[in-house]
Amino acid sequence: MATTLSEITSLLDDAELRYQVNEDQQAVALGFEIDPEETNYRDSDGDPNVLLVIEVKEDGEFVSVCSPYAWNIQDCQQKGAVFESLVLYQARCKMIRFDYDPQDGEIRPNVELPLEDAVITGQQFHRVLGVMLQAIKDAHAIVSHAMETGVADPGLIAGGQATADADAGPEIDRLRQLAAQAGGIDELEKLLAGNDQTNDSGDS
């Protein structure tokens, strides 16, 4: 039996995370606030928030988690260095990959899980969310440095392999805390405006 959108939302409910659902796109969006003292990463509005979108694809045989517009390099003059920095980071981590849209300059970190006929487990799910958040924080130093200087400095990479290998167990409490801090951020409404269904039972 393949994974369904309702199973994804059940995992979010169990974790007491707030989210918005787009049934037409088979997608769920949720926001997390990151500690501004841990990283200088900021979203497009200048806030220390990370937006994650979970999509159920191929009739539930495939689940992807991404962070839309984590970075934008449309006007960046140092694209080569940015791409090099992403490759350097990706080589040190499991699961994470980076997509680039040359039309609008979007860089989108993501994790893709081919589940086939299996149901995603809570441990898999929480690990993916934790790894995604940590990767954005850890990769931002080398990415932002490359954007500003044109130099991809591997010495700026934090976390790396240890981050990807972290046990999923402690992540759940941290995810709850981060999501509670960022509940209701504007990006959720912007992304899923139109046919959204908002879950409010996960208020914390």
- Is 204 a member of any domain? no
- Is 165 a member of any domain? yes
What CATH number is given to the structural domain containing 63? 3.30.1460.70
- Is 13 a member of any domain? yes
Q: Decide which of 183 and 35 is more confident.
A: 35
- Convert the pLDDT of each residue in 115-129 to its tens digit: 888 888 888 898 999
Range of the domain at 176: 5-195
Q: Decide which of 91 and 175 is more confident.
A: 91
- Is 203 a member of any domain? no
Distances (CA, A) of 147 to 106, 122, 142: 13, 36, 9
- Is 200 a member of any domain? no
- Is 201 a member of any domain? no
Count of domains in the chain?
A: 1
Alpha-carbon distance of 114 to 42, in angstroms, equals 30
- Is 31 a member of any domain? yes
